[in-house]
Each structure stands twice: as C-alpha cells, then as structure tokens.
Amino acid sequence: MSAQQDYADCPQNFLPHSTEAMMHSTINGLYDQFKGNIVGSLANYIPELSKVAPNQFGIALTNSQGKTVTIGDATSPFTIQSISKAITFCMLLERVGRQETYRYVGVQPSAEPFNAITLNPLSNIPFNPMVNTGAIAVAGRLRQIFGPRAFGEVLNVFSLAAGRTLDVDEQVFQSERETGHRNRAIGHLLRAVGIFDVPVDEVLDLYFRQCSIQVTAIDLSIMASTFANLGVNPVTGREVFDLDSVRDTLSTMFTCGMYDGAGDWSCKVGLPAKSGVGGGILAVVNRQLGIGVFSPRLDSVGNSVRGQLCCAALSQELGLHAFDMSNMGSSFLQAMSARR
Ligand code: DON
C-alpha cells in the first residue's frame, strides 16, 4: 500500500478545524519562506541517492494528541538513513539496559564527521550512537542479540513508531551495500576491538537495511511524536519505547544528533533532532510535538539545508527551544514552591 493510501485511510488523525488552521498557517508560512531555496546538493556517495528529485520539500507536524498537519511533499518516500540510528539506539537501551549499552557505545559528542573512522581514545569504544561507528556498534549488538531475525525486529519497531507498516528501498540498500567500503572498514575495526563477535558482513547488512527503510515526512513526524509522547505512539496509542530509553535517546540526539553541526543546532534550534543523508530531519518537542521535514539538498556536513532552516524558524516562531523563557521546567518543583 502506498504512503498516500495509508494516510487517506486515517483522516480522523488530522487536527480539528481551529487548531488545524493555526498549525497550517504556521507551516504554510515556513513552506513559502523556504520553497525557493535550492542551496545544497544530493548525497552522491551512495549512487542511488543521486537519482532523487532534488527539489522535493515536505513538512509534517504531529502533536501529542496524535493530530497531524502537512504541507508540500509530505507523503513522498525517501530513505531514513541516519535517523534510524536514534531508533536502534533506543531499542538497544530498552533490550539490555543502560549499563550494558554503555559498555559498547558512549554518549560523548565527537565533533567529527559522521563517517569518521575513530574511537574515543579514552574508552576505545565509539564516541556516540549517532555517528557511524556508534550506529554500527549498536547494529552489531542487535545482530548478536536477535540473530538472523534482527532486521525483522528493527523493522517492526520502526513501523510501530510510525504507526504503519514500513519497508525497505531495495535499490538504495543494494547501492550502499556495494559501495559502503568505509562502513565496512568501521565494521572490521569494531570487530577487532571486541564490540561484537558475529560476522562483519551480517552486521553491515543490518545497518545498510535499517538506513534504507523508506519513510515520509509524515512518518518522521509521527516517530518524533512517539518520542515526544514518552514512547507511546499518539496516533495508534501503542507503547513503542520505555521511558528511560527515550530519555537517554533524546539526550544523545540533543548533543550529537546533528554531528559536527550539533553545537550550532543546540543554540539555534534547541531541540533533540536527527538528520539523514536521504534529506530527512526528525525533531522532538518534549511532551508536545513531533516534527518531520524532507528536503534532500544537503549542506557540507550532510544535514538537509531547508530542514535545518525550517526547524530553526519553527523553534523561533513557536518558542520551542528547550531553554526558552516559555519553557517552565519541572512541574514537580513548581508544585513544591507553590506549597511554601
Ligand atoms: O552510513 C551511511 O553513510 C549512511 N547510510 C547514513 C549516513 C547519514 O545519513 C548521515 N546523516 N546525515
């Protein structure tokens, strides 16, 4: 079933009229502001990605009540790529717990490109799960835990987070599988330092497949709203992740999700987010909103140019930055001070 048909079947998930009008005018404004911007270029180190129509542009927002508004190419399919890293990290945390997870991957920003072949010299494990070394370590652990059914487990969790059955873009998968020599080097490095002891090719197949899962901007917004809604998909009402795993995943997205652009992002946008070279950005407004943007022209560090502009403008316009004055912090502390 196509993405369009899927969404056409669930009109009840779109916002009631008045809120819908407000949210629509916000994303209409963003769309108009940035639609003429064709700065940046497609990722071409995965040959199949260089065939994507470069000027596609879609935005979707899903709130914590599971209501969605969209504009532009919000139902166009593209591959999730590195955004998958946040979800597989959350899966590993949930499956084996924090202590065991952090034996194999750290949570330190690396300030290096996403495909750097480096380990943290202090710990000899990957810096964090958002760069390729860390994500391949996570894939290795998942392959070790689940065996050959690992990809089925991954696809199932991604589908639960999106609220519909997702699938793989086989062409992109084969394209990266044939050309991903750098990632293979990373796989062998991780195998050598004992991060996993299953065959490297099987781990890489899992990693390339998870990156090739096809999504839309709507899917990203619903996945993001699942994180925002403490692990429960607000559209389907199903629990996808546990609370502690969501907390660690969002923290790591906040500090590491935008690679060597992460510091700029945290000041300008102030939201946990993850980008992918397919052109997607997923951003999370804790307890409130999931944001999905698709625009495949990328900047020099591999982040969607219009995706970043949209998230920054949205954060500014609606006061979404984690440290904005509108963010009141802990309601527990507020309740305690009200008592005194
Ligand atoms: O491993 C790779 O190179 C790709 N499958 C994913 C990279 C990616 O999306 C980086 N993000 N901006």
pLDDT one-digit tens code per residue, 196-206: 999 999 999 99
Question: pLDDT of 189-244, one tens digit each?
Answer: 999 999 999 999 999 999 999 999 999 999 999 999 999 999 999 999 999 999 99
Spatial separation of the C-alpha atoms in residues 291 and 220, rounded to whole Å:
7
State whether residue 168 is helix, strand or coil.
strand
Across 277-289, average pLDDT: 96
- The pLDDT score that the predictor gives to residue 261 is 82
* Cα-to-centroid distance, 237 and ligand 1 (Å): 30
- At residue 340 the predicted structure's pLDDT band, cuts being 50, 70 and 90, is low
* Cα-to-centroid distance, 85 and ligand 1 (Å): 9
- The pLDDT score that the predictor gives to residue 18 is 60
Spatial separation of the C-alpha atoms in residues 250 and 290, rounded to whole Å:
12
For the record, the structure tokens of 251 come out as 């923290």
- The pLDDT score that the predictor gives to residue 1 is 38
* Cα-to-centroid distance, 246 and ligand 1 (Å): 22
Q: Is the distance from the beta carbon of residue 187 to the nearest atom of ligand 1 less than 6 Å?
A: no
Do 46 and 179 meet the contact criterion of CB atoms below 8 Å apart? Answer: yes
At residue 3, does pLDDT exceed 90?
no
Strands 273-275 and 167-168 come out as unpaired
- The pLDDT score that the predictor gives to residue 2 is 45
Across 41-61, average pLDDT: 97
Q: Which of 15-24, 44-53, 240-249 has the lowest mean pLDDT?
A: 15-24
* Cα-to-centroid distance, 128 and ligand 1 (Å): 14
Q: Is the distance from the beta carbon of residue 275 to the nearest atom of ligand 1 less than 6 Å?
A: yes
At residue 69, does pLDDT exceed 70?
yes
Atom of ligand 1 nearest to the CA of 135: 1
Q: Is the distance from the beta carbon of residue 70 to the nearest atom of ligand 1 less than 6 Å?
A: no
Q: Is the distance from the beta carbon of residue 211 to the nearest atom of ligand 1 less than 6 Å?
A: yes
- The pLDDT score that the predictor gives to residue 19 is 66
- At residue 5 the predicted structure's pLDDT band, cuts being 50, 70 and 90, is very low
Q: Is the distance from the beta carbon of residue 183 to the nearest atom of ligand 1 less than 6 Å?
A: yes
- Count other C-beta atoms under 10 Å from residue 102's C-beta: 14
Return mean pLDDT, the chain.
Answer: 92
Mark residue 250 as left, alpha or beta (left: phi above 0; alpha: psi -120 to 50; beta: remaining): alpha
Q: What is the dihedral of CA 203, 204, 209, 210, to 10 degrees?
A: 70
- The pLDDT score that the predictor gives to residue 68 is 96
Across 151-168, average pLDDT: 98
- The pLDDT score that the predictor gives to residue 29 is 95
At residue 37, does pLDDT exceed 60?
yes
- The pLDDT score that the predictor gives to residue 291 is 98
* Cα-to-centroid distance, 9 and ligand 1 (Å): 32
Q: Is the distance from the beta carbon of residue 81 to the nearest atom of ligand 1 less than 6 Å?
A: yes
* Cα-to-centroid distance, 115 and ligand 1 (Å): 8
The secondary structure of residue 284, as a DSSP letter, is E
* Cα-to-centroid distance, 295 and ligand 1 (Å): 15
* Cα-to-centroid distance, 186 and ligand 1 (Å): 13
Spatial separation of the C-alpha atoms in residues 116 and 132, rounded to whole Å:
7
Across 106-124, average pLDDT: 95
Do 67 and 19 meet the contact criterion of CB atoms below 8 Å apart? Answer: yes
Do 79 and 49 meet the contact criterion of CB atoms below 8 Å apart? Answer: yes
Residue identifier of the C-alpha nearest atom 3 of ligand 1: 115
Q: Is the distance from the beta carbon of residue 284 to the nearest atom of ligand 1 less than 6 Å?
A: no
For the record, the structure tokens of 340 come out as 């005194």
The secondary structure of residue 138, as a DSSP letter, is H
- The pLDDT score that the predictor gives to residue 12 is 40
Q: Is the distance from the beta carbon of residue 304 to the nearest atom of ligand 1 less than 6 Å?
A: no
pTM for this entry: 0.93
- What are the counts of helices (DSSP H) followed by strands (DSSP E) for the chain? 14, 8
- At residue 125 the predicted structure's pLDDT band, cuts being 50, 70 and 90, is very high
Pocket test for ligand 1, best of 117, 131, 132 (most atoms within 8 A of CB): 132
Q: Is the distance from the beta carbon of residue 132 to the nearest atom of ligand 1 less than 6 Å?
A: yes
Do 124 and 170 meet the contact criterion of CB atoms below 8 Å apart? Answer: no
At residue 306, does pLDDT exceed 70?
yes
- The pLDDT score that the predictor gives to residue 169 is 98
